[in-house]
Structure 1
């Protein structure tokens, strides 16, 4: 961007002749003037955090004797980083329109479209992540001891992939639940990290629409 969103926003408010300038300036002062910049910075930091986190996780998993799980999780995170960088790059092409309000509307549209794109991947990410964790747990020494203890307490000759049928059933049920609620899990995770900023965005758009309608 050749000029900061904050500068563009000020100019947009002043040049928006159909709005009452004092009211808009008051709205500008009460709300987060740099909301868009803050969100974009948060997205950029999140990408870096994923990259650094995956490296740290790989090292940590290797140190505790689970290097394949570390590699597996890294493999799951790589597409996420690619998607995130691609989506963030699209934000540079958002049309600012004729005013700050137009820009905010366009940014909100990009944001919602980007969230839908992430949601598609997370429908696969969460179930695959669960499978990786379960597989590591089953093949580990601790997992083997737990399975042996379960067979001792609840003996059975029916084994599925080396697991007692009841344990395999519990894992399968958990997998189906996670798969079904993958989108909800992503929305929950998203709300925890960005919920406060998204709420500010909604409030700002709502207030500006109200001012325009009463101008």
Structure 2
């Protein structure tokens, strides 16, 4: 990918007359190249981190007696990894036959479309992850003991699967909160990791647009 990016800029993504001063033209070429390279590198590293993290989580969960939860989480993460790989490939395959400003605009458009697709997936991921964690907690020995203690301390006639009705009510409310704010939670997580680079991309595009001759 580095070679293809370098080739793009050597071939002159921005014509000499597109910006006001040739030196400024060259400066923005290099800034554009570095920023795109950095973002793509960060995306690639993130994919590897998800894979490694999922495998480590599976090992840890198996060691603490919750292998099925580890497998369940790996299954949830598998589509995310495949989606991330496909989205990254799309960024590599963006058309090179355009100016650097047009390329950055295309990259930015791909980025926003990609974020939208991820947000849709996370609307399902976070609730399912929550359900898995709660199910494991309730099914564990510790969870069973806690439920028995709650029933003894706060008895109720509404009991299902040895779990008090008020616990089911709390679990349901929290699930609804997770469902409602899952997309917002994803975007918060995204901004914490990539927010600074996204801002640089927006500012670079804005500056290059301002420098284009009318």
Q: TM-score, normalised by structure 1?
A: 0.91
Which deviations, in whole Å up to 9, do the C-alpha atoms of 1:75-117 show, x marking residues without a partner? 1011111111111111222012421111111111111111111
Distance 2:122 2:2 in 1: 34
- C-alpha spacing 1:2/1:174, structure 2 compared with 1 (3 Å): closer
1:100 equivalenced with 2:120 (yes/no): no
Q: For structure 2, which runs of at least 5 residues remain unmatched after alignment? A: none
Paired with 2:198 and 2:159, the residues of 1 have a C-alpha distance of: 48
Q: For residues 20-31 of structure 1, what are the structure 2 equivalents within 5 Å?
A: 20=20, 21-27=22-28, 31=31
Compute the displacement of 1:119 (Å). Answer: 1.2
Q: Compute the displacement of 1:6 (Å).
A: 4.8
Equivalent residue for 2:67? 67
Q: Show CA shifts across 1:168-201 (max 9, x none).
A: 1010000001001111011011111111111111
Q: CA deviation at 1:146?
A: 1.4
Aligned position for 1:193 = 193
Asked if the contact 2:147/2:162 (under 8 Å) is kept, the reply is: no
**2:89 paired residue number:** 89
SS of 1:76's partner is: helix
SS at structure 2 position matched to 1:70: helix
With 191-200 and 92-101 compared, the bigger mean Cα shift is at 92-101
Quickly say closer, same or farther: Cα 1:87–1:67, change in 2 above 3 A.
Answer: same
Q: May I ask how many residue pairs the two structures share in their alignment? A: 212
Paired position in structure 2 for 1:12: 13
| Cα RMSD after superposing both structures | 1.9
1:158–1:34 distance in 2 versus 1, CA, 3 Å: same
* Cα deviation code 1:109-136 (max 9, x no counterpart): 1111111111111110000000000000
Deviation at 1:28, TM superposition (A): 5.4
Residues of 2 paired with 1:2 and 1:23: CA distance?
A: 23
